[in-house]
Structure 1
Amino acid sequence: MIPLWQGSCNQWDCDEMGHMNVRLYVEKQAEGLIAFAHALGLPEAFRASAPATIVPVDQHIRFVREVLPGRPISMQGCVLEIGESDAVLYQELRHLDGSLSASFRTRIIHIDTAEGERFPWTAKTRAKMEALRGEAPAEALPRSIEPDAPGLPAVDITLARAQAAKAPRIGMAAVPPGHCGVHGWMEPSWFIGRLSDMVPNLLFDWRSRVGRKDGEKRIGGAVLEYRLRYHRLPRAGDLIVAHSSFGGINGKTHSLVHWLLDPVSGNAWASTQVVAITLDLDARKAVPAPPEMIAELERLAPPGLGV
């Protein structure tokens, strides 16, 4: 493990649930990726003049302990797998006492910035990757999502298929210049950030009624695990819509599948699987949704989409 980032959670990093928003986790992970690039001998990768860079294509995130305002956190990481033009990197955020906050398992690819085409790592970079090989600790391993499970081909993730499955649209947005990085693509953290903004359109009323059934509790939600597949990176001026589908239930957790799509072309930007809980905001504990509420969620977002 090598150190990649160190800081704290600000009040403005937190959302209505009172803890650090998922977008900020990925934002900090992306900062750690820049530090990783330096360690791999690719210090120019995230500069505007870079002929080549690294981008995520498949990411698994596990949220273990929430981060509250003012709490210090730090990141370290290692290399899990090395391919010809791709690699799997492990990054983890830990609290000051050493307890795990979140883990990230990210498959990256090496591309040229002009055409976005993949090309092999150099021998020098591969040697540096080999020197940073390590293993993820057991407490950080995936639980409810298989990160290496085959995903749907991007050509099958379309607006027409979402509409045919009667998956409701839960949000729409445009990409402003401020959300794009030095290479002109939307920063990866805004995929999960946009979804965080959009999901209340599906779940706000549902969660409030779960709270009433559980004794008028103040109810929110928390994500436990996430798989995010990046198919294309939008640019400033592009449009995004999100459609959602019920993915199942396991104990106190429920799963949803979200597709982020281009409403102009109908093609995919990203596809995601999310495992979440309904959260008692005062006790900071999971609240099991009654069977009739799960059935209602399935009616609100009919099954049918895959990641």
Structure 2
Amino acid sequence: MAREATYRGTVYPWHCDHVGHMNIMWYVGKFDEANWNLFARIGLTPSFLRESGRGMAAVQQNVTYKRELLAGDIVEITSVVLEIRDKAIRFRHEMRNGETGEIAAICEFTGVHMDRRARKVVPFTEGIRAAALGQVAAVEAEMA
């Protein structure tokens, strides 16, 4: 399946550390922006979250760094849902150098769906689960 980008941007000089490459805090920030675009695709839109009093919280995050990104590099992130459970979702982002196509970093998250007022984890709606399961099926078909 052709994966659509969940984030596009660039590396600015102020994103770089003393070694001259993008600092880890900016990788995490760009992955976070991709999260919200991926969530919106399955129905976890900003308006849904506001109106329902729901939210998302990361409970695990694993980042693998593959290649440096330097000031001026174009960044593109594609994302896939790997698993959806009653109250939790697992997904992966691949950050690439938009010019070369090389993978710069991979991040896998586990997140939970929560009631913001009660501060408790709650089940996803059936519509969100169905949309996420559709993405999982597409990923599985791609890998078969």
Q: TM-score, normalised by structure 2?
A: 0.87
Identity %, equivalent residues? 27
Measure the CA separation in 2 of the matches of 1:113 and 1:54.
Answer: 9
Residue 68 of structure 1 pairs with residue 40 of structure 2: no
**Deviations along 1:66-92, whole A, 9 cap, x unmatched?**
100000010011011111100101111
User: What residue number does 2:119 align with?
Assistant: 116
Deviation, 1:46, is: 9.0
Measure the CA separation in 2 of the matches of 1:84 and 1:3.
Answer: 26
Alpha-carbon spacing, 1:124–1:46, altered in 2? closer, same or farther (3 Å): closer
In the alignment, is the contact (CA less than 8 A) between 1:85 and 1:110 conserved in 2? yes
Aligned residues: 135
Residue 28 of structure 1 pairs with residue 30 of structure 2: yes
84, 102, 106: which is aligned to 2:105? 102
Measure the CA separation in 2 of the matches of 1:73 and 1:117.
Answer: 35
The residue identity in structure 2 corresponding to 1:54 is M
- Structure showing the higher helix proportion among its residues: 2
Measure the CA separation in 1 of the matches of 2:74 and 2:132.
Answer: 28
**Deviations along 1:165-212, whole A, 9 cap, x unmatched?**
xxxxxxxxxxxxxxxxxxxxxxxxxxxxxxxxxxxxxxxxxxxxxxxx
Structure 2: segments with no counterpart, 5+ residues: none
Measure the CA separation in 2 of the matches of 1:45 and 1:57.
Answer: 23
The residue identity in structure 1 corresponding to 2:104 is S
Measure the CA separation in 1 of the matches of 2:105 and 2:43.
Answer: 26
Measure the CA separation in 2 of the matches of 1:18 and 1:127.
Answer: 43
Structure 1: segments with no counterpart, 5+ residues: 136-307
Alpha-carbon spacing, 1:110–1:97, altered in 2? closer, same or farther (3 Å): same
In the alignment, is the contact (CA less than 8 A) between 2:69 and 2:104 conserved in 1? yes
Q: TM-score, normalised by structure 1?
A: 0.42
Secondary structure in structure 2 of the residue aligned to 1:132: helix
In the alignment, is the contact (CA less than 8 A) between 2:83 and 2:133 conserved in 1? no
6, 9, 14: which is aligned to 2:8? 6
The residue identity in structure 2 corresponding to 1:39 is R
The residue identity in structure 2 corresponding to 1:110 is H
Deviation, 1:117, is: 0.5
Alpha-carbon spacing, 1:45–1:66, altered in 2? closer, same or farther (3 Å): farther
User: What residue number does 1:81 align with?
Assistant: 83
Deviation, 1:3, is: 1.6
In the alignment, is the contact (CA less than 8 A) between 1:45 and 1:54 conserved in 2? no
User: What residue number does 1:53 align with?
Assistant: 55
**Deviations along 1:233-292, whole A, 9 cap, x unmatched?**
xxxxxxxxxxxxxxxxxxxxxxxxxxxxxxxxxxxxxxxxxxxxxxxxxxxxxxxxxxxx
Q: Which has the larger radius of gyration?
A: 1
The residue identity in structure 1 corresponding to 2:115 is D
